[in-house]
Structures are given as C-alpha cells and as structure tokens.
Structure 1
Amino acid sequence: MRNISDIIEQHLKQILESAGKDEIDIKRSELAEEFQCVPSQINYVIKTRFTVEKGYIVESKRGGGGYIRIIRIQHQDRAELIDEIIGLINPVVSQQATMDVLERLLEEELVTEREAKIMLSAINRDTLAFQLPLRDEVRARILTSMLSTLKYLNK
C-alpha cells in the first residue's frame, strides 16, 4: 500500500500533466485539507519529491494569498539535460541526489530500469567504501563519466 507522501506526489504530477503546462500553483493549506493531513506533510512531499535533481523548480510566496509553484524543467535536447545534471552533481553528490538523478533519467527515458540499477550498484555507498566527503566526490566523478558516455551514445 502506498503512503500519503506517494499519493500526494502522484496527485501533483497528475495535475501538472493534465494542465498541459509545465507549471502549477497550489495552496498548501487547501492541499492539506484535501488529503486530511498537516501542511508540513505537503512541505515534506514538495521538498523531497520535487527537487532540481528530479527536474523541478519550486517557488513559494508566503502570506494569506500565498502559493507554491511547481515548475517542471523541460529540455529540448538530451545533451543539454545531461550537461545540466553533470553541473548539478559536481564536485560532490550524495547517495539520495544520485537516486533522484537516476529517477529523472528513467522518466526522461535516457536509461532503462536495468541500466539505472547497474549505475546505482556501481556508485552506492556499499560499493564506494570510502569516508565522506571522498565517497561523494568519487561518486560524482563516476556518475559524470557515465553521463558523458550516455550523452555521446544518444547523439
């Protein structure tokens, strides 16, 4: 069974898709009321599920007429997307950010599920048994190399 965070994430993604636009404005309190949860749950979902690594920009305006705007980053060119991701992950990248990047590559159909699992196994914390921050630096270098290869294979 899915948890409330998964359900809220899917709901927001469906709104984005059905709106036919790359951005939506939502009111945190209204969404919390709709899902009968606390507003901080909405914050958690937006902060963890709509990150730059996953291809989103989030803007917010506080106050009575406040809103949260979720913008889906669209790229015309796959090479441009890969370059942006390389810029995000250097000089260091965490395990969680790596998983977010791989999820985005899957959504953009740049890699298959099998390829993503192989990539993750090569750069997970168990494989890279170094102390931090060296582990995150080595992970970034390996992932950058994989992404550069993908960039030129997709041309």
Structure 2
Amino acid sequence: MRMPTIADYIAEHIKVLFNESDDVYIEIQRNDLAAKFGCAPSQINYVLATRFTTQSGFAVESRRGGGGFVRIFKLSAEQPGDLLRECYHRIGSSITAPDARSIIVRLRDEQIISEREAHLINVTVDDATLNLDSAWRNRLRANILKAMLASLARQCNAGGGS
C-alpha cells in the first residue's frame, strides 16, 4: 500500500467539502486551499486537473485574478446503466491503471458498486496482477474492466443492484 501524497489529502478534503454541502457545487479559493495545505497553488491546479475530471464525475469552472475562485460541480448520471455505458465507451481498447481506478472510484461514489466490489475490481485490474508488458497489460485491463461493466449493466437492466 502506498503512502498518501499531498494530492491525496487535497482531493479528500475537497470530497469532504462536497459531503458537507447541500449545493450542487462547491466554491473554493485556490490560494486559501494552497495555504491550508502548505503548497503552491499549482499543486491545487494539479489535483483539480487529475482528480476532478469529467471522467471522474466532476466539472471545474475557474476564474483567475484577485478574488478568483474555483467552482467544482459534481456530475450525476440519471440512471446507473447510463453511467456504466458511458464508462464502457470511454475505455476503448486500452486503459491505464490510474484511469481504471478513476472509473472504479466514480462507480463507487455513485453507489453503483460497493466498497468491497470496488476493491475487488481494483485488485483485478492492478498492474501487479496484470504482470505483462504495458501495452498488453493496458489492453487486457480494458477487456477485463469492460466485461465487468457489461455484467453490471446487465444486472441494472434486469433490476438487480450491487
């Protein structure tokens, strides 16, 4: 298990802000957040660009300059099957481990899969499990993840949940 990075702590803090908010978005000051974590504002930009993507279920709106802000919106799929199909089509023929984890986290956050299921899927598509050349590994990971998403979509269509 790897040690959490400052990016992990910042991302977790932002997710906590979402959990505490009743709004469809949260608004943060980039400089204030950087000061809170003792980092440069560019570190906040990195977290927003890598952890709060549309693929992860977020949209980010930013205004720079004095008093600038960052608004982060949580996107939500209308139906679980819609999100599963969207993720399936995004995968394509190859996917990296970080991109796969991003999809798995979103499915867990949207309560389409449980924490246990997320862990099992993560272990299955992890680089250590798929001990192959990276090109083959990313293709195999895509095939495995797409098969799991297709199975989940069939369960959703049949009325079953996780």
Question: Secondary structure at the residue paired with 1:133?
Answer: helix
Cross-structure match for 2:45 = 43
The runs of at least 4 consecutive aligned structure 1 residues that moved more than 6 Å come to none
Check the 8 A contact 2:59/2:72 in 1, yes or no. Answer: yes
Cross-structure match for 1:115 = 117
Q: Identify unmatched segments of 5+ residues in structure 2.
A: none
Cross-structure match for 1:10 = 12
Give 2:33's aligned amino acid: L
TM-aligned CA distance change 1:2 to 1:116, over 3 Å? closer
Q: What is the Cα deviation at residue 82 of structure 1?
A: 0.7
Q: What is the Cα deviation at residue 4 of structure 1?
A: 4.2
Report which stretch shifted further, 30-39 or 90-99. 30-39
Cross-structure match for 2:31 = 29
2:40, 2:144 → 1: CA distance?
Answer: 40
2:56, 2:25 → 1: CA distance?
Answer: 15
Residue 123 of structure 2 corresponds to residue 148 of structure 1: no
**Identical pairs, percent:** 35
Residue-pair matches, total: 155
Q: What is the Cα deviation at residue 96 of structure 1?
A: 0.8
Q: What is the Cα deviation at residue 95 of structure 1?
A: 0.5
1:96-129, Cα deviation, whole Å (9 max, x unpaired): 1111211222222222233223222332223333
Report which stretch shifted further, 130-139 or 58-67. 58-67
TM-aligned CA distance change 1:67 to 1:110, over 3 Å? same
Question: Secondary structure at the residue paired with 2:113?
Answer: coil
TM-score by length of 1: 0.82
Give 1:137's aligned amino acid: R
TM-aligned CA distance change 1:33 to 1:85, over 3 Å? same
1:137, 1:2 → 2: CA distance?
Answer: 28
Q: Identify unmatched segments of 5+ residues in structure 1.
A: none
Cross-structure match for 2:104 = 102
Question: Secondary structure at the residue paired with 1:110?
Answer: coil
TM-score by length of 2: 0.79
Q: What is the Cα deviation at residue 84 of structure 1?
A: 1.4
TM-aligned CA distance change 1:37 to 1:123, over 3 Å? closer
